[in-house]
Chain A
Amino acid sequence: MQRIFNALVQFRNPILYIFLLGFSLLFLSSRSSFHQNTLEKVGFYFSSGLYSFTNSFDEYFHLREKNTQLLEENTKLKSLALKANTPFLYDPYLGNSKRFPFTVINANVIKNSLLNQRNYVIIDKGSEDGLEPEMGVITASGILGMVKSVSKKYASVISILHKDLKINVRFKNSSAFGSLVWKGKNPKEFSVEDIVLSSQIQKGDTIVTGGMSSYFPQGIPLGIITQIKSDTNSGFYVMNAELFENPSQVYSVYVIENKFKNEIEFLTKKAKK
């Protein structure tokens, strides 16, 4: 305390000077709007630097919160985008639920693998969040797979990188149907099977989900055709496709639920009997 006092006494002149200078600057800016403007500009220059500095810290500490908000917003937008992609199969008077019978739940990938021939993914939403087996899982620009089993808080997903999983696909420009199968090596390389030679396909065409299965809505863009060969013996094309998104590098996903899946499956089973 004594030292502070000594320092104050020792530097009384500079302190007095700075205090009075501040006062006269205030006086100056109150007397003249030109000076006020210029001083404000100077002050703004310094304070903006300071603000952006503190703001960057602030932003860093709120990243998690921001992420959650963004995910929520994305979920809403995703469902809108899916709705827009889906051709309206029914008249509007049937209501939106019939026209787009899907709901979207967002989730995070906590474990992913690509080294096996049959890969699985674990996501951090489970039965408590309304997940059930056989729901489709999609990503920002593609699909990830299908829910296999569900625990209370987690769910395992059959990855699209699974040799036995066949995804029903369609072409954006033509109505030919086929299925997308992983080739088992590169996580972006897929083959498209079961497309008859009579359909008009070109290299570079976009493949989208077909909507024949009840898992995925129609029209999610998946990838493009990179190679086409026509196999005259079988009467089918042999095609290679590349996905837009690497399924092994996905962190946030959307689980989609078809509200009418049970009805559709019930009818399918009945027809098979």
Chain B
Amino acid sequence: MSSITLKTFASFIILVLFQVFIFNQINLFGYINPLVYLLFMVNYRFDGNQTFFIFLGFLLGFSIDLMSQTGGAHTIASLTVSFLRPIIIRYAYGVTAELPKSFRNDSRVLNRILFLLFLIGIHHLIYFVVVYFSWDAIFIILKSFSLTGLFSLILVLLISSLSRPTK
């Protein structure tokens, strides 16, 4: 097993544990729990195996659902995002997405923020739609989507900028 795969598994397990035991207990303003496990989706190699990644995305959501006693909302959202990730990358980075990661270490900040916006936006939208699953709750969905999404975005940006020097 290569060191990259090992790293992937390690970050997978750590993110699941962090999400379930720390970030799910925040309850900021009573209902905001940032979904930080999306860092896994952000940090996975852009040129990695997509089929394997879809399966990993599914497993990620599934294990969070199992451990935090929720329905299948995490599973569906992260599965869909992992399936759409190549499209999001192509949209956010343009042609440079095809280049290996080492070339893009200093890639433009705007592209990265766009990428995170799409990734987190789609994920949160699907997540809250599945959680409430009713037209009557459209305003609650929009409110939770925007506020939680904002906090997740901030946290993901913070953590990824903190961890960047170590890579």
Interface residues of A (CB under 8 A from B): 12-14, 16-17, 20-21, 23-25, 27-29, 31-32, 34-35, 38
Contact = CB atoms under 8 A, between A and B. Distances in A.
B54 A28 contact: no
Question: What is the interface residue range for chain B against chain A?
Answer: 20 to 34
B133 A27 contact: no
Interface of B: 50-51, 54-55, 58, 61-62, 65, 70-73, 75-76, 79-80, 83, 130, 133-134
A24 B77 CA distance: 10
A24 B62 contact: yes
Most A Cβ at <10 Å: residue of B50, B73, B75, B134: B75
Given A20-B79, A38-B134, A12 B51 contact: yes
A24 B76 contact: yes
9 contacts: A14-B83, A16-B51, A16-B54, A17-B83, A20-B55, A25-B72, A27-B65, A35-B72, A38-B134
Contacts of A34: 133
Chain A residues touching B, majority SS: helix
A13 B75 contact: no
Contacts of A12: 51
Given A13-B50, A35-B133, A38-B133, A28 B72 contact: yes
Chain B residues touching A, majority SS: helix
Nearest to A14: B83
B151 to A, nearest CB: 25
A20 to B, nearest CB: 5
Contacts of A28: 71-73, 75-76, 130
B76 A21 contact: yes
Q: 5 tightest A-B contacts by CB?
A: A28-B72, A24-B75, A17-B83, A32-B71, A31-B71
Nearest to B86: A13
Nearest to B76: A24
A176 to B, nearest CB: 70
Contact of A13 (B51, B61, B76): B51
A20 B72 contact: no
Contacts of A13: 50-51, 54, 83
Contacts of B71: 27-28, 31-32, 35
Contacts of B75: 24, 27-28
Contacts of B133: 34-35, 38
Contacts of A16: 51, 54-55
Contact of B61 (A17, A24, A25): A24
Most B Cβ at <10 Å: residue of A28, A32, A35: A28
Contacts of A23: 58
Contacts of A32: 71
B70 to A, nearest CB: 8
Most A Cβ at <10 Å: residue of B54, B62, B70, B72: B72
B79 A17 contact: yes
A35 B137 CA distance: 14
Contacts of A20: 54-55, 58, 79
A14 to B, nearest CB: 8
A21 B78 CA distance: 10
A24 B58 CA distance: 8
A21 to B, nearest CB: 6
A143 to B, nearest CB: 61
Given A17-B79, A17-B83, A35-B133, A27 B72 contact: yes
B54 A21 contact: no
Nearest to B58: A20
A52 to B, nearest CB: 25
B20 to A, nearest CB: 16
A23 B65 CA distance: 13
Nearest to A26: B72
